[in-house]
Amino acid sequence: MSLNSKRPGTLSIVGTPLGNAEDLTPRARRCLEEADAVLAEDTRRAGLACARWGVTARRFVSLHDHNEERRKNAVLDALRDGRNLALISDAGMPVLADPGFLLVRACRDAGLPVTVLPGACAPVTALAGCGIPPQPFVFFGFLPRRRADQEAALAPYARIPATLVFFERRDRLTDTLENALRLLGPREGCVARELTKTHEEYIRFHLDESGAYRALLTDVLGEVTVILGPPETLEKSPREEVERLITEELPRGGTPRELARRVQARAHGWTGGEIYSMLPKLRPGD
């Protein structure tokens, strides 16, 4: 008999409550209690959460952003040895914006069983309850902190009719929304906080030059889910608007093509070539 004939174990991706313990499904409860080990971002936090849910797990093993790469081979060996493992995040659905992608990919590449137990998911919950068009939508996880990196992430969606969803911290929320306004233009917006908890709140606003949304978001705490609706208009921007945008972007420097690309991300209906042809007459010194 082959030494590798043992049936492998299964990696179960388990969605857990965002805040309300009653959102843990019976199937998820059974999986967590029967698993040989529960992989968690923070084993102490996972233990406290399981206690709140009335779940008795056999063992917790840490799996987070900083150790997933080096730990995945040991996890694969455990699965090959026939052990069943459950993967959870601090809250909600693992993998989407939390550790687990590298592990799931490695399992798929190795032909090891992976199953998903559906459960709470913050971006989908926020999208369903915000009253902004839900489809199509794009989920970014946490946006990059640097403005230039946010531009690279958001700018391609300036003229795409899709709703954008991402996570953000309170101390960066206003700056991120101001950058989003610059890159994407006016849009419907919503900040969802304390999802599924007693003080759940959906704060609707209009992201525009008036800046009125800032006052609405003054007392927001912690991490939130942000939803920005699709572009409000896809009509071609007036030439005067494009000239203004070029003037704003000139101090940031860069090659003419880079400048044209930045302006194109903010102007509706203009090609990069059209904007490029306008640059010489607006460059300083011309």
Tokens of 21: 């313990």
Q: What is the pLDDT of residues 164-210, one digit of tens each?
A: 999 999 999 999 999 999 999 899 999 999 999 988 999 999 998 88
CATH, domain range 123-228: 3.30.950.10
Return the half-sphere exposure (C-beta side, CA atoms, 13 A cut-off) of residue 158: 25
Global pTM value:
0.78
The length of the chain, given as a count of residues? 286
Domain spanning 11-120: CATH superfamily: Tetrapyrrole methylase, N-terminal domain (3.40.1010.10)
The reported pLDDT for the residue numbered 4 is 55
The reported pLDDT for the residue numbered 281 is 55
| C-alpha to C-alpha distance for 216 and 93, rounded to whole angstroms | 29
72 pLDDT more than 90: yes
163 pLDDT more than 90: yes
Average pLDDT over the chain, rounded to whole?
Answer: 91
Hey, where are the domains in the chain? 11-120, 123-228, 239-282
Position 280 confidence tier, pLDDT thresholds 50, 70, 90: low
284 pLDDT more than 50: no
236 pLDDT more than 80: no
